[in-house]
Structure 1
Amino acid sequence: MNFSVVIPLYNKARFVECAVASVLAQTLAPLEVLVVDDGSTDGGGDRVAAIDDPRVRLIRQANAGVSAARNRGIEAAQGDWVAFLDADDAWHPEFLAVLARAHRDCPEAGMLATRFRTVVEPTGRAFEPWAVPESFCETELIEDLRLRWMKNTPLCSSTVAVRTSCLRAMPERFIEGDSWGEDLDMWFRVADRAPVAVVNAPYASIRGEVPNSLSRTPRKRHLPPFLVRMRAQARDGTLPPRSRRSALWFVDQLQVTIAREALSENRRAEALWWLMQARGGALSRRWLVTALMALFMPVGLADRWQRWRVRSADTFAQEPVQ
């Protein structure tokens, strides 16, 4: 098997060389590295163009958003699999080799991934290879990604590879115009077609606290379009039968999450409103706990509890880089 690596780039000049270097350092060499410069204005594309390696190909386009950049990379990819890496993140040298092992373990999987670690490193300095405990390296075959997602976050946009044939067979790839959840939308739609194999060890480093990062952009508290679509498709039968019930459950759970965010900001009435929207999950422990918090828990304590819960839900905690 071989991998085309797609890196969308927008104004991440100080990080992109580190990202590309981490791909070129893979023990299982990539077939190609496609950096799609989405109209950057900080010279990032020029830095990529200066990299002297025939596997690196720079594609320039007018600014159209990260989904358009990823779609452009998919169109250009020549490999059997397309692996995605954000321009401010980096891979462990064994990342692609570990994905290949996951494929051997679970040949039926249509998507491969690993876990990740979040690091605070805003300068663009390269990461030294980090130790990955062997005890975490088992491969998990996920049949229902939505149910698995609510346990803890098993993957992210910088740890995923998808069969190229699967991506090109999809009527829509990354939905252009969505500003939040466009990657989750894609992963769930791929997972509706085939199982997902995840190596439960952190083989990617995700930079936290990066200015202009999509993950750091404040978002209005409303139901994201991909969840609106997911709920509608579950109800009208567009989703496969095995996915419909968990899709509705997942939307309810995300609405409970929004309720908790509102509660942490002392917006009790708004939190209760979101809980009512998620009433399909009203008998779940998570819904009941949140309702009790909204009615009785002091606001400051609710905020601290929510922050602790988010941190403790992940196996791999955020860490600074010295």
Structure 2
Amino acid sequence: MKISVVIPLYNKVRYVSSAVRSVLAQTLPPHEVIVIDDGSSDGSAEAVEALADRRVRVVRQANAGVSVARNRGIAEATGDWIAFLDADDWYHPEMLGALSHAHQACPEAAMLGAGFRKVPHRFGADPEPWPVTEGFYEVELVEDLRQRWFKNSPFCTSSVAIRADLLRGIQPCFATGEAFGEDLDLWFRVGDMTPVAVVNAPFAAVRVLPDSLSTRHPRATLPNFLKRMRERALSGEIPARYRKSALWFVGQMQVTLAREALSAGERLQALRWLVEARRAALTRRWQLTMLMALCMPTQVAGSWQRWRVRNAEVFSPEGPTQ
């Protein structure tokens, strides 16, 4: 496997060297590492160039956003597979080897993923590799990615690889001008085209940066990637076998939005989301949320939901939990 690793970069001088070094330290060497510097002004690109490794290429562009940077990386890549890594995350030394293992186990899958772990942000030295079970890693072949995603997130942006020819056929892959859900938008579109092979062990580390859940505000409008998913399902663009689960997924995300609104004390907005989520009306999750919205005092509902948020029920590109 020739795997090109694409790293979008914008003002991550404290982190990016660790990210790149984690790719260079792989037991299965990368074909190349392409860092797309999206107009950094803090010396990030220079920090990468100082690593002086012939496998690493820095491509500079004026600031245009993470989606444009990733699309540029796809266009620049010369490998058979393209993997992604955010500039503040890093790989376990066996990450690319785990993806290769998934490919060997399920050669029909054009998208490969691995589990990930969340870690506190830290500055300075490269993190030590974490233990992963030796030997054979379980590989799961996922046919319906939306159903699987709602169980738990099988991979993240920093633990996925997709066949390069598939990506080039659907460019622009990432929705430009968006920085929320643009990755999920692509994963589900690709998942409609191919099975996904997932190694169910954590081979990527994702930094939890300080701007976290406490600053999250409830949304009054459906995120763009969910609007597109619903439109594609209703128009017939999504293959027939996945249309029902696509509409179900949108409904479940609207239930999550209702819970966010309840947490903020916005009962009326929560009820609006639940009415829109009628396709999920027969689920226990929808019913419980409606009961909270109708019967539970707002202050109690908010306290309950904040407890759930602290215990990882969040609406994020890393996926919801039930």
TM-score for both structures, normalised by structure 2: 0.91
Distance (whole Å) between structure 2 residues aligned to residue 207 and residue 99 of structure 1: 21
Matched, 1:113 2:116: no
- Alignment partner of 2:260: what SS? helix
Q: Label 1:244 to 1:217 Cα distance change in 2 as closer, same or farther (>3 A).
A: farther
Distance (whole Å) between structure 2 residues aligned to residue 109 and residue 117 of structure 1: 23
Distance (whole Å) between structure 1 residues aligned to residue 311 and residue 119 of structure 2: 19
Matched, 1:200 2:214: no
- Alignment partner of 2:158: what SS? coil
CA RMSD of aligned residues (A): 2.0
CA contact (8 A) 2:71 2:171 kept: no
CA contact (8 A) 2:19 2:90 kept: yes
Partner of 1:289: 288
Distance (whole Å) between structure 1 residues aligned to residue 285 and residue 124 of structure 2: 39
> Shift of residue 87 of structure 1?
0.1
Matched, 1:15 2:54: no
| Per-residue deviation, residues 130-150 of structure 1 (Å, max 9, x unmatched) | 001359931111001001111
> Shift of residue 260 of structure 1?
0.7
Matched, 1:248 2:236: no
Partner of 1:310: 312
Distance (whole Å) between structure 1 residues aligned to residue 309 and residue 218 of structure 2: 19
Show structure 2 runs of 5+ residues with no match.
315-322
Distance (whole Å) between structure 2 residues aligned to residue 295 and residue 223 of structure 1: 22
Aligned residues: 310
| Per-residue deviation, residues 31-89 of structure 1 (Å, max 9, x unmatched) | 10000000011110111111111000000000000000001000010100000000000
Partner of 2:320: none
Matching residue's letter, 2:222: L
Matching residue's letter, 1:234: A
| Per-residue deviation, residues 243-293 of structure 1 (Å, max 9, x unmatched) | 211111110010000001111122111111110110111111110011112
Distance (whole Å) between structure 1 residues aligned to residue 215 and residue 110 of structure 2: 30
Matched, 1:82 2:82: yes
Distance (whole Å) between structure 2 residues aligned to residue 24 and residue 109 of structure 1: 25
Show structure 1 runs of 5+ residues with no match.
313-322
Partner of 1:273: 272
Matching residue's letter, 1:255: Q
- Alignment partner of 2:157: what SS? coil
CA contact (8 A) 1:9 1:38 kept: yes
% identical aligned pairs: 57
CA contact (8 A) 2:141 2:198 kept: yes
CA contact (8 A) 1:92 1:129 kept: yes
Matching residue's letter, 1:11: N
> Shift of residue 124 of structure 1?
4.4
TM-score for both structures, normalised by structure 1: 0.91
Distance (whole Å) between structure 1 residues aligned to residue 78 and residue 171 of structure 2: 19
Distance (whole Å) between structure 1 residues aligned to residue 209 and residue 77 of structure 2: 31
